[in-house]
Amino acid sequence: MLIAILIGVLVYYNTGHATALAPQIDRAETVVKKNVHDEARRKQALAIIGEIKTTCTDFVKSREKSAKGVNQALDKREVTAEELRTAAAPLLAEEQQLRSRLLDLQFQLRKVLTAEEWALVYPKPPPPPPPPSSKT
């Protein structure tokens, strides 16, 4: 039963990346439209961003189908760990394919944008807060 819970949690938390990226993708599209002034490069960048959106949308649809298999396995009271691994395998493989494809598309986008434009699309995260001072 513990294996079932762990696989269920793994599947639930590791497959939400596509939908979680939607605000970042929309922001990237807005930044490119506003800051890339060369029309040819802007069209190229927007085409890549469109492909990122399509990839994420397609993943969400296929994830729903694969999740049905996992849910069916979880519905069985006497499910074995091996049955759960087998049911989760397609979902985890799709997740890996999504990550790989998104990384490839980001590299394509980076080749199209200048360093300044790239920094606007993907700004550096803020520095971590300083550690609390200890008064002794």
So where are the chain's domains?
Answer: 2-121
Does 47 score more than 70 pLDDT?
A: yes
Residue 49 CA to residue 55 CA, distance in Å, equals: 10
Residue 35 CA to residue 117 CA, distance in Å, equals: 7
Confidence of residue 77 (pLDDT cuts 50, 70, 90): confident
Average pLDDT, whole number, for the chain? 82
Cβ–Cβ under 8 Å, residues 35 and 117: yes
- At 38 the pLDDT is 94
- At 136 the pLDDT is 55
Confidence of residue 45 (pLDDT cuts 50, 70, 90): very high
With b for 16 or more beta-carbon neighbours within 10 A and e for fewer, the 20-33 pattern comes to ebeeebeebbebbe
